[in-house]
Amino acid sequence: MIHGIGIDIVKVERMKKAVERWGERFLRRVFTDDEIAYSYKKAEPWLSLSVRFAAKEAFIKAIGSEISVALTDIEVMNSGSGRPFLSVKGGIEAFFEQKEIRCAHLSLSHERDYGVACVVLEKL
């Protein structure tokens, strides 16, 4: 059964400007160390950062306004094959247990100007 669905789109230029303006302070508030390292290994880190930010926003939409979420408690990771997935910690783990959410499905896409993400939360 589906608990929630969320989708978000981020303009890459907006992410680039936020990082240029706020720098490390912004990055550390929004992304985990691994997300930052992964993104900056890319030729265009803004694409990777944008799509990860979109994933976090889509996730928040999927859970609704039931709990407060720190963006760094949501981490976009990649399997060995490159498939993206979400890892959660903090209060989100307890929320998942309470609501019997067993899986957070994630789909990401980006092109030159935009990053988009869709999250589907599945219950037992």
Select which of 11, 16, 61, 99 is catalytic: 61
3-state helix, strand, coil in the chain (%, to 5): 45, 30, 20
Residue 61 annotated to the active site:
yes
Tokens 């037992």 belong to 124
Residue 3 annotated to the active site:
no
Element (H, E) at 47: helix 45-63
**DSSP per-residue codes, 50-86:** HHHHHHHHHHHHHHTTSS---GGGEEEEE-TTS-EEE
What amino acid positions are annotated as catalytic residues?
A: 61, 110
